[in-house]
Amino acid sequence: MKNTISILLTLAVALLSLSVAAQQKKWSLKECVEYALKNNIQIKLTDLDVQTAAVSTSDARMAFFPTVNAQGSHSWNIGLNQNITTGLLQNQTTQFTSVGANVGFDIYNGLQNQNRFSRARLAAVAAQYQLTKMKEDVALNVANAYLQILFNKENLKVQEQQLAYDQQQLTRTQQLVDAGNVPKGDLLDVQATVATDNQNKIAAQNTLLISKLSLAQMMQLEDFQDFDTDDSDYPTDETGVLLRNAAEIYDKAKEQRTEIKVAQANVAVAEKDVKIAKGAYQPSLQGFYSFTTRAAYSDRIIGYGPNLENPTTVVGYVDGTNQAVLQNNFAPILGRREPILDQFDQNKGHSFGLSINVPIFNGFSARNGVERAKIALDRTKITLQQQELDLEQNVYKAYTDAQGAWNTYEAAKATVAAREGAMNYARERYNVGLINVFDFNQTQTLFVNAQSELLRSKYDFIFKVKILEFYFGIPISQITEKK
C-alpha cells in the first residue's frame, strides 16, 4: 500500500512538473513554423489532394493491365417447363448453374493509356508543388504574426516605461506643490497623464493578448491559454539580400518559386490532355477471351427398357388378312444426374477474338474534345505568363519596400535620439520651473511616439526583408537571433 501511494505521489509530481514546464514554454519562430506546418488545416486538406493524385496515378498505371472478371449464376425454374430429359411439358422445378470468366485487354487505343499515365504523374507533381506553396504561405503568415507579437511586446514595454516616468513625475510634482513651487493645476495635469498612461498600458496588453491568440489559432494550437513567444531580439542590420539588385532576385525567384512551378506543371498536364483528346481520332483495337460452362440438376437417361404401361404400338396392317402389325414400345430409364464437376468439364466452352472500333462520325464529340483541351492549354499558358508578371511585380515591390523600410528605420532611430535629448532637456527646465507641466508632457509624448514608431519601423523592416529573402529562396524560419 505504501509503495502504491509513493508511486502515485511521484506521478502527480511529474505531471505537475510537466504542466509547469508547458506553461513556461517560450516558442521560437522556427518552432511556431514547424508546428503550424504539421497541424494547419489547410495544409492537411492540400495533403489530401496529393494523396488523391497518387491514387489517380495508380489508376492510370493499372490501365495497362488486362481486365479479368468472373461471373456465376444459379437459377430455379418452377412451374410448367419442358423436361430437358424427356422433352415433355410438365410441372416441375429445375435448377441450373453456370459459371464463366472474361478477359479483355487493349492492344491499341491511340496511345491514350500512355498519355493518361504521363498526365497523372504530372498532376501528382503539380499537387506536390501546391502543397509546398500552401506550406510557404502558412510559414509567411506565421512569421508575420510572430513579429507582430514581438512588436506588441516591445510596445507594451514602452507604455510601461512611460507610465513609470509619469509616476515619478507625479511624485516629484506632489513635492513641488507641497513646497508651493508649482500650482496645484500642474499636479492635476500629471494625474490625468498617469491615468492616460494606464489606459494605454491596458490597451497594449490587450493588443498583445489578441496577437498571441491569433498566432496560436493559426498554428492550430489546442492549449493556447498559456501560449507565449520567446523574448529574443532579432538583428536589424542591413541584410545582404539588399546588396543584390531586383533583377537578380527576380531571376532567382523565377527559377525557384513554387507558384511558377505549379503553373508550369499545369501547362504540361494540359498538353497531355490535348494528346489524350486527339487519341479519340484513332482506331482502337481490343482483344478478348471468354470461358463458360454449365450444369443441370435434372435426372439423366441411362438406357431404355420396355414400356410396361404401353408395351406395343400398332404401326400398320397386313394386306389381305388385315392383321395388325405391332411394335414394342420402349421407355427411357432415368438415373441420377451426373456429378456437377463432370458436367462442368463436359459443357465447357471458349471464345476469343479481336474487336476493332474505327471512329467515322460521332457528332463531332472527338473534335470538340480536342478543341476544349486546346482552350484549356491556352488558359494554362496565359496563367503561367500572369504568374511570371505577378512574381516580377511582387519582387520589385518587395525590394522597394525593404529599402524604404530600412531608410524609415534609420530615420526613426535618429528621431528617437533627438526626442530623447529634447525630453531630458525639458525635464531639466521643468525641474527648475522654466516650463510648465503641459509643455513637458508634450515633449515626453513626442518621445514615446518616436519610440513606438521606431519599434514599428523595426519589425516592418524585418518582415519586409523576410519577404524579399523568401523570394530569393531563403526559408522563412531562418531569422538569426541576437545572442
**8/220: higher pLDDT:** 220
Interval 243-264 mean pLDDT: 89
Closest Cα partner for 105 from 65, 62, 59?
65
**pLDDT one-digit tens code per residue, 379-431:** 999 999 999 999 999 999 989 998 898 999 999 999 999 998 998 898 888 77
Query: What pLDDT shows up at residue 7?
Result: 46
276 with 116: CB under 8 angstroms? Answer: yes
Q: For residue 367, what is its C-alpha cell?
A: 473534335
Closest Cα partner for 459 from 419, 388, 418, 408?
408
- Residue 362 CA: distances (Å) to CA of 64, 106, 274, 281: 26, 21, 18, 10
What are the structural domains of the chain? Answer: 27-65+109-143+213-282+380-483 (1.20.1600.10), 67-106+284-297+337-358 (2.20.200), 300-335 (no CATH)
Alpha helices by DSSP H, listed for 103-111, are none
Query: What pLDDT shows up at residue 190?
Result: 81
Interval 51-74 mean pLDDT: 93
For residue 287, the 8-state DSSP code is E
Compute the distance between CA of residue 141 and CA of residue 146 in angstroms, rounded to an integer: 8
**pLDDT one-digit tens code per residue, 279-335:** 989 999 999 999 999 888 776 666 667 777 777 777 777 777 777 777 777 766 665
Q: Report the percent of the chain where pLDDT is more than 90.
A: 33
Name the pTM for this structure: 0.73
**pLDDT one-digit tens code per residue, 356-385:** 999 888 888 889 999 999 999 999 999 999
- What per-residue string of b and e applies to 349-386 under the rule 16 or more CB within 10 Å gives b? eeeeeeeeeeeeeeeeebeebbeebbebbeebeeebee
Lowest mean pLDDT among 211-225, 266-280, 330-344, 432-446: 330-344
**Residue 350: its H or E element:** strand 349-357
Residue 40: count of CB within 10 angstroms of its CB: 21
Confidence of residue 55 (pLDDT cuts 50, 70, 90): very high
Beta-carbon contacts of 53 under 8 Å, excluding residues fewer than 6 positions away, are: 120, 123, 124, 126, 127, 128
| Average pLDDT of every residue of the chain | 83
